[in-house]
Structure 1
Amino acid sequence: MLWFLVPHLIGLLFWAASLLYLPALIAGSLARENAFREPSDPFDSVARMAFTRIATPAALVAIIAGTLVFLIDHTVDVWLIAKLTLVAGLVLSHAATGLLILRAESGNGKPILGWCWVLGLVQCVLIVGIVWLVLAKPTLQVLP
């Protein structure tokens, strides 16, 4: 099990770090006083590169290795189901980050900065909730 737990933790670390960084990167790329310049092609941005080359592969590694840990260890507890629910929320926020990147690249004038804040806060809450559930492993009651 340890052979699958290590890539799961490394993938989760990279996935969470990139998800926390991407909303700030998107908001920073929209600022007028941007010190570092984006490429001239709007569909070749730094945010897109970080999303497609770091965040998405890390998410796939974390989910696949976590599934293998789950299958090998045969753990079926209520805290694990709660954790998987939060991970599903993190997957949805991952998709929302991709949509936010597309919206920022289109430059159609729709408000984006507020959504960057909301997405960043939601991702922080989800990541802290996942870490708490894994470390605390609370005994949750199932309603009959």
Structure 2
Amino acid sequence: MIIAGLKYLHLAAMLCWCAAMVALPLMLHFYGAIWRSTTGSEQTQARYAEFRLITHYGYIGFATPAAIIAIAAGTGLIFAAQVFDLWFVAKLALVAGMALVHAWIGHLVLSSGENRGLRNMPSSLWALVMGVPLMVGVLWLVLAKPDLAWIADWMPEFMLAPRGQAAGQT
């Protein structure tokens, strides 16, 4: 029962987090383009205020809580379901990459407010270019649960041995 609840919470939070990681860069890109194309009017100020509210609250009030809940529920699942396979380590590496992209999106949201738009900043669409493959990779690893034992053949021995012991000793 606990594992099912954690899986539901983790999946729901991951869906929200991934949706936000797709929507926020698109909003930054398209709202920013609209705002830059119509400067100097009262309507522009209203659009800019709307842009700031949507991106700020989308990041602070939706994306970040979803990320925290997804990571917390996923951490609980690690121990509740005792998943310690190599595919899971790869999944954690991809989730760490998603967290870095999430932080960069936050930087773009903050910079768009401080600079009144994304002037002199890289395109926010780069967050999609980096984030979507990470999300697809996580989904593939979770659904396929591939046998990644072949990776151990390439790793140095010290990375495979328990800390302070040689491999194979008890």
TM-score normalised over the length of structure 1: 0.89
Deviations 1:71-124 (A, max 9, x none): 111110000000000000000111000001111112276433x43121111111
Q: Following superposition of structure 1 onto structure 2, how do residues 48-87 of structure 1 map, counting pairs within 5 Å?
A: 48-87=56-95
Q: Contact 2:22/2:128 (CA < 8 Å) preserved in 1?
A: yes
Q: Contact 1:4/1:69 (CA < 8 Å) preserved in 2?
A: yes
- Following the alignment from structure 1 to structure 2, what is the Cα–Cα distance between the partners of residues 29 and 110? 13
- Following the alignment from structure 2 to structure 1, what is the Cα–Cα distance between the partners of residues 49 and 127? 25
Give 3-state SS (helix, strand or coil) of 2:84's partner.
Answer: coil
Amino acid at match of 2:13: G
List runs of 5+ in structure 1 lacking aligned partners: none
Match of residue 130, structure 1, among 126, 138, 148: 138
- Following the alignment from structure 2 to structure 1, what is the Cα–Cα distance between the partners of residues 49 and 32? 13
- Following the alignment from structure 2 to structure 1, what is the Cα–Cα distance between the partners of residues 120 and 144? 39
- Following the alignment from structure 1 to structure 2, what is the Cα–Cα distance between the partners of residues 75 and 45? 40
Q: Equivalent residue for 1:8?
A: 10
Match of residue 38, structure 1, among 38, 41, 48: 48
- Following the alignment from structure 2 to structure 1, what is the Cα–Cα distance between the partners of residues 119 and 57? 22
% identical equivalent positions:
32
Amino acid at match of 2:120: P
Residue 45 of structure 1 and its aligned partner are, at CA, apart by 2.6
TM-score normalised over the length of structure 2: 0.76
- Following the alignment from structure 1 to structure 2, what is the Cα–Cα distance between the partners of residues 25 and 18? 10
List runs of 5+ in structure 2 lacking aligned partners: 156-170
Q: Equivalent residue for 1:88?
A: 96
Q: Over alpha carbons, which structure has the higher Rg?
A: 2
Residue 3 of structure 1 and its aligned partner are, at CA, apart by 1.0
Q: Contact 1:38/1:46 (CA < 8 Å) preserved in 2?
A: no
Q: Contact 1:26/1:101 (CA < 8 Å) preserved in 2?
A: yes
Q: Which moved more, 1:70-79 or 1:114-123?
A: 114-123
